[in-house]
Amino acid sequence: MTRISRRVFLAFALLATGLAQAQLSIEITGAGANRIPVAIVDFPGDFAASRVVTTTVRNDLERSGLFKLVDHNGLVFDENAAINYADWKVKGADALAAGSIARSADGRMEARFRLYDTQKGVSLGGAAYVTSNTQLRAAGHRIADYIYEKLTGEKGVFSTRIAYVVKARGQFLLQIADSDGQNAATALTSIEPIISPVWSPDGNKLAYVSFEKKKPVIYVHSLSSGQRIIVANFKGSNSAPAWSPDGRKLAIVLSKDGNSQIYTVNADGSGLQRVTQSSGIDTEPRYSADGSSIFFTSDRGGSPQVYQVGVGGGDVRRVTFEGNYNVSPRPSPDGKSLAFISRREGRFQLAVMDLASRQVQILSDSNKDESPSFAPNSRMILIATETGGRGVLSAVSSDGRIKQRLSIAAGDVREPAWGPYYQ
C-alpha cells in the first residue's frame, strides 16, 4: 500500500452543532500506486456556484485514490474553449475538464462540462446537469462520476449515498449521507439500538432492525415519506434483513421456532418461507448477485463459518474454511468476490475471497472490523471499525490499496450500508 505522506484532511466545517447536522469527516490514509493525473479548471459563471461544483469534483476524484490532481493554476474557462493540449501535457495532466455554470430559465442551475484526453488531443465527451441551487454538490458528484467512468472504465459511485448508525448522548440515529459524508440527514432517532440497515435496490427504502419494542423487530422505512412498516415481529428475535436483487423479497432471521434460522418474506411482510433447517445458529443472510442463492453464517460445524444455500433451501455448501470465526458474508454486486469478517489471532479483520479461485486476502490491519458493505461498483468496501476507542467507518478498496476513514466528532459511527447507484 502506498501511503500519501501528506495526509489529506477534508474536515468540513460543521454547519451547525446539532447532531442531525453533524458531518462525517474523511481522511485518506492510502492511495493507488498509479494515479491518473487530471486537471479540473475553474468554471466561468456564478463564482460561488462554480466553486461548489469544481471543489466537489476535485475532492471526489482525489478521495477515490485513483486520481492525482494537477494544479490548474487558477485558470478559468468553459467547455467550448479551445484547448492547448501541449501545455497541459507539459503540466503532467493526462486529462482535463472544463465547464461552465449558468442559471436556466426556471431559476435552476445548469452545470456543463467537457472532458479531454490531453495525450491524444481529443474530447472524451461531456454532459449538462440541471440542479437546484442547494443541490450543486450533486452536480459535482455527477461530473466526477462521468470523469471516473471515462478514465477508469468503471462506473463511479460519487453520487451514491450511505446509511449508518450514530450512537451519541444515549441516542441512536439512523443517518443518510452522500458518499463523501456530506449532507447528513437523520431518518430515525431512537433511545433503543438500531442495527443492520440495508438499502432497497431502488435506493428509496431501508430495511433495518430496531429494538424500540424492547426486542429486535424488522422494519422497512421509506426515506422520502418517513413511512415505516413492520416486516417481521414474530415471537422471539427478528433480525438481519437482506434485500433480494429485484427488491421484491427480504431474507430475514427469525427465532420463532427456537434458534436463529433463515426465512424469506415479501417486502410487505407476507409470504413467509423457511430456507434453512439446522439445530444451531443460521444468520446474516445475503443474496448472491444473481439472486439464486443465499450466503449466510452458521455454527452448524462447531464454529461460525460462511455457507451458501439455494433461495428455496436444500443443499448447503460450506464456503470458508480458514480459522474458527468467519462471519458477516457480503457478496460483491459483480458476483466475483465475497467480503467477510475473519477472526485471526483475536483480531477481527476484513477479508475478501475471490469466488472463482477461493483465494482469501486479509484487507485490513485493524482489530475490530465489522459489517462490511460493498460500493455498487464492487471496487470499495465500507466497514465499521474502531480508532482510539471510538467507532469510525473505513472504506477500503477491494485490492486493499486505497483506504479512507470517515469519522464523526460527536459520537460512535457504526453499521454502514453503501447505497445503490444514483437513479
Residues contributing to the site for another protein (CB under 8 A): 193, 195-196, 209, 211, 214-216, 235-237, 239-240, 253, 255, 258-260, 280-284, 297, 304, 325, 327-328, 341, 343, 348, 368, 370-371, 389, 415
CA 244 to chain centre: 18
Q: Closer to another protein at the Cβ: 195 or 410?
A: 195
Report in angstroms how near the CB of residue 328 gets to another protein at its nearest. Answer: 5
DSSP structural state of residue 197: E
Report in angstroms how near the CB of residue 304 gets to another protein at its nearest. Answer: 6
The Cβ-side half-sphere exposure at 405, using a 13 Å CA radius, reads 20
CA distance 18 to 140: 26
DSSP structural state of residue 31: B
Q: Closer to another protein at the Cβ: 103 or 235?
A: 235
The Cβ-side half-sphere exposure at 295, using a 13 Å CA radius, reads 23
Q: Closer to another protein at the Cβ: 54 or 276?
A: 276
Residue 153: CB atoms within 10 A of its CB come to 7
Q: Closer to another protein at the Cβ: 103 or 213?
A: 213
Buried b (16+ CB within 10 A) or exposed e, 306-320: bbbbebeeeebeebb
CA distance 30 to 7: 9
CA distance 208 to 239: 8
Report in angstroms how near the CB of residue 341 gets to another protein at its nearest. Answer: 6
Q: Closer to another protein at the Cβ: 85 or 211?
A: 211
Q: Closer to another protein at the Cβ: 8 or 281?
A: 281
Report in angstroms how near the CB of residue 84 gets to another protein at its nearest. Answer: 56
Q: Are 20 and 186 in contact (CB under 8 A)?
A: yes
In degrees, rounded to 5, the angle at the alpha carbon of residue 158 between the alpha carbons of residues 156 and 163 is 120
Q: Which H/E stretch holds residue 49?
A: helix 47-63
Report in angstroms how near the CB of residue 321 gets to another protein at its nearest. Answer: 18
Q: Closer to another protein at the Cβ: 57 or 218?
A: 218
Q: Closer to another protein at the Cβ: 159 or 326?
A: 326
Residue 317 neighbours by CB under 8 Å, 6+ apart? 307, 308, 309
Residue 113: CB atoms within 10 A of its CB come to 28
Q: Closer to another protein at the Cβ: 22 or 341?
A: 341
**Which segments of 67-160 does DSSP mark as H helices, in order?**
85-91, 136-152
Report in angstroms how near the CB of residue 388 gets to another protein at its nearest. Answer: 12
CA distance 380 to 365: 16
Report in angstroms how near the CB of residue 245 gets to another protein at its nearest. Answer: 20
Report in angstroms how near the CB of residue 246 gets to another protein at its nearest. Answer: 23
Report in angstroms how near the CB of residue 237 gets to another protein at its nearest. Answer: 5
What's the grid cell of residue 193? Answer: 439500538
